[in-house]
Chains A and B, each alone.
Chain A
Amino acid sequence: MIRKGLQLLVFYSVLSLGMMLSATAQAKEYRTVAVADPFLEMHTGPGKGYPITNVVEQGESVQIIRRKTDWFKVRTDRDREGWVNIAQMEQTLDESGELTEIERIGRDEFLDRRFEAGVLTGDFSGADTVSVYAGYKISRNLGIELSGAQLIGNFSTGWLGTVNLVHETWPEWRLSPYFTLGTGIVQTRPKSTLVSTPDRIDQVSLVGAGLRAYVTRRFVLRAEYKSYVVLTSRDENEEIDEWKVGFGFFF
């Protein structure tokens, strides 16, 4: 019953959001630019694969309706619409007669990023792990990261939540190494098909190192190793190695 209600709620919120978006789109004022190149090529869709069906000549102006990835939907004075690539869009002139400035997310934005979030997966001492992380950078070198992981092993499953201090020593390198120090808790639950023993919650501390590579736009790849010490209530502490790879976005 509750699930049904939730489904309806999701459906209607998506629907109303769509209506709102299309309603605001009609009353909007668009940016107008003039073509400076011999001509501007208009594709039927936002991609290289879509054919060019129209061109706008030098001196004519177009309105920029919207953007999808690196493609811009434009409308000509004669009400024709099409999609223009970012490289050609940057060669147009704005009202002041200068080259149109278009926001390009690149390496500089990556270096000055504040927030980063993503997904990593790998091996946690024999168990599979799927983890989500979110980080905030205090400076170019130093940041804080929260990480939550689900651990799925043959004999037990569990959750791991950690707070990490991350030091990126050479942030400007293409493959930039970073070092982590953190603490958190791990919950382990034996599999239901095996004998039932109570869930366990233990504290962990960790050290780690990893590599981060900027790929394109807001996309980052990373791989990391972490060494955990699980502070158990038994006589001996448990040591665990973890390897993960994944991707993230930055904002």
Chain B
Amino acid sequence: MESRFRFLFLSATLGVVLLTSGCSSLPFFGKTKDTEVAEAPEQVIEPEVERREIVKPKIDTEDFEIAVFGGVMSVEDFGVNPVVGASLAYHFSESLFVEGAAGVTDTEETSFELLSGAAELLTDDERQFTYYNASIGWNLFPGEAFVGRNRAFNQSFYLIAGLGSTRFGGDDLFTINVGAGYRLLFNDVWALRVDFRDHVFDSDLLGASKTVHNLTGRVGFSLFF
């Protein structure tokens, strides 16, 4: 009885051991891949290709134009006075540009104030005339200006119109500006600008409301970048 159990037990153990550990070592189950790997042929010629690094230099664009200007501004009823300002423009195309500008001038007493000797209408602060505007410009008649025998400068005429706001006499006034100008390019970067502009708004500063025209003539230098 006992020996039969021992036989069964041993044979079962043997079977388990054979199945779990032995399988892979048996020729049937454990196929090795050593023989299948074909050796790669040795490379005879090493290609010596150096990649050419092409760094493309960037092209400078000069579509922005910054300008400073000075001139005279006639503020209706308040005299003709020096005006200074600055502007920044962006050129979309050869013919179209947009421009933001701001300027400031100090106005004088009106004739009435001077002659009557009465109290002044405005305080010093209110007498300062400041404006800003956004405008669209259109370049017309491009061409060349000849200076002497050997020099030619590019030039163009432009029409410009826009709107903005003016602070004068203690009030903010919605202002339309219309004008025309001339641009003479010394080179690709520097230019001279001459500009005439009318700044129009409705004002009731002197009693009844009326449309006021303020003409400005100015000269400026601009820089393209």
Contact = CB atoms under 8 A, between A and B. Distances in A.
Contacts of B223: 14, 17-18, 21
A67 B188 CA distance: 10
Contacts of B190: 18
Contacts of B173: 152
A150 B142 contact: no
Binding site secondary structure of chain B: strand
A73 B224 CA distance: 14
Given A47-B142, A96-B54, A73 B188 contact: yes
B3 interface: no
A66 B171 contact: no
B76 interface: no
Interface string A153-177: 0000100000000000000000000
Interface string B182-207: 00010011100000000000001100
Given A128-B174, A152-B174, A67 B54 contact: no
A152 B165 contact: yes
Contacts of A50: 142-144, 154
B119 to A, nearest CB: 16
Nearest to A152: B174
Contacts of A219: 92
Name the prevailing secondary structure of the A interface residues: mixed
A21 B134 CA distance: 27
B57 A31 contact: yes
B68 interface: yes
B72 interface: no
A66 B224 CA distance: 11
A192 B142 contact: no
B163 A121 contact: yes
Interface stretch (B18-26, B41-49, B59-67, B110-118): B59-67
Interface stretch (A3-11, A135-143, A200-208, A227-235): A3-11
Task: Determine the interface band of chain B, counting residues with CB < 8 A from chain A.
Answer: 35 or more
B152 interface: yes
Given A96-B54, A157-B172, A249-B90, A66 B225 contact: no
A191 B171 contact: yes
Contacts, number: 119
Contacts of B152: 44
Contacts of B154: 44-46, 50
B199 to A, nearest CB: 14
Interface in A196-216: 216
Nearest to B90: A249
A71 interface: yes
Nearest to A46: B94
Given A14-B221, A192-B169, A247-B98, A216 B104 contact: no
Interface residues of A, number: 51
A150 B166 CA distance: 11
Nearest to B154: A45
Contacts of A102: 59
A102 B59 CA distance: 9
Interface in A111-163: 119, 121, 128, 130, 150, 152, 157
Interface stretch (A22-30, A34-42, A54-62, A178-186): A22-30
Interface in B79-96: 84, 86, 90-95
A30 B59 CA distance: 7
Nearest to A128: B174
A218 B60 contact: no
Contact of A10 (B57, B68, B156, B170): B68
A95 interface: yes
A150 B172 contact: yes
A193 B163 contact: no
Interface of B: 54, 56-57, 59-63, 66, 68, 84, 86, 90-95, 98, 100, 104, 126, 134, 136, 139, 141-144, 152, 154, 156, 163-165, 169-174, 185, 188-190, 204-205, 221, 223-225
Given A50-B154, A69-B63, A95-B54, 5 more contacts: A7-B68, A31-B57, A64-B59, A121-B163, A150-B165
